Amino acid sequence: MALYTTTSNVNALLPDDYGPLVVQPALAASVFAQIATIARTGATEYRVPIVAADATAAWVAEGAEIVPSDPTLQELVVTPKKIAGLTVISRELADDSDPRAATVVGDSLARDIARRIDQAVFAGLAAPAPAGLTTLSGVQTYVAAGAFGDLDFAAEAIAKAETVGANITAFVAGPAVALALAKIRTASGSNEPVLGKDATSATGRMILGVPLFVSEFVAANTLWAVDASRVWLVVRDDASIEADRSVFFTSDRVAVKATMRAAFGFVHPQSVVKVTIV
């Protein structure tokens, strides 16, 4: 007999909430967390209502009857999957009363959890990882020939999203593409980059007014354009940190395990635009 999240009356067995030590630094380090809407849930499943078609309106004469109509509603069910990290520390560090010791351990695990989130969404990983952008059906695409010589690709992506009522809020590219974009100049012989700067951030980069983010997990010669209101990161609120002193007893070390559950929700795939340079 085994106990799972679906077993009745298991709430009392769930771990204590150590979310701030794991979740907050993980989300701060994740690129996808910065470009998506974050939803937190205490349930095994998170349900996102989707209006597939709006109710209809029409011009009517004074005193005339208004014809009622209903919107078409759908539902996206997101099931957070477990992502976990394990590190080994000395007993002395584990017993250190200085809060910074716990922060060092938590941040180390959180950084790699953030990398795995971005890897799953941008590069794609096999189950049990949640499905990411690379397997998403229904996204719009734009193929640009040749190297980056201008920002026309961005205008095309923004326009494609606007045709379905979306508003691009972020571009995401790999380091090589970001470097190529940074080298585009406003004119021949000029040293002024086309890539706009964010006046509020020394390292912020803008493409036609839209922030550009960089992730090592985006495929070469590829950019993703997304609307934050239509791509979601669902996080389960039962992140935990557990320490075990027995597994490494002979070396006087402590195993520290961090787990959280997260998944992606794409409520409107047509609002996502994939740009490929060939």
DSSP bridge partners of 233: 38, 264
Cβ-contact 158, 210 below 8 angstroms = yes
Cis amide leading into 128 (omega within 30): yes
- What is the predicted pLDDT for the residue at 73? 79
Pairwise CA distance, residues 215 & 70, whole Å: 42
d(CA 254, CA 85): 14
For residue 12, what pLDDT band results from cuts at 50, 70 and 90?
Answer: very low
Q: Over 50: is that where the pLDDT of 10 sits?
A: no
Q: What's the CATH fold of domain 16-52+71-277?
A: hypothetical protein PF0899 fold (3.30.2320)
More confident residue, 113 or 102: 113
Please report, for the chain, the start and end positions of each structural domain, with discontinuous segments joined by +. Answer: 16-52+71-277
What are 203-252's pLDDT values in tens digits? 678 999 999 999 999 999 999 999 999 999 999 877 777 778 888 888 88
DSSP string, 75-99: EEEE--EEEEEEEEEEHHHHH--SH
* Sign, Cα dihedral of 202, 110, 238, 38: positive
pLDDT digits (tens, 9 = 90+) for 60-110: 999 999 999 988 878 889 999 999 888 888 877 777 656 556 567 767 788
- CA 28, 32, 33, 36 dihedral sign is positive
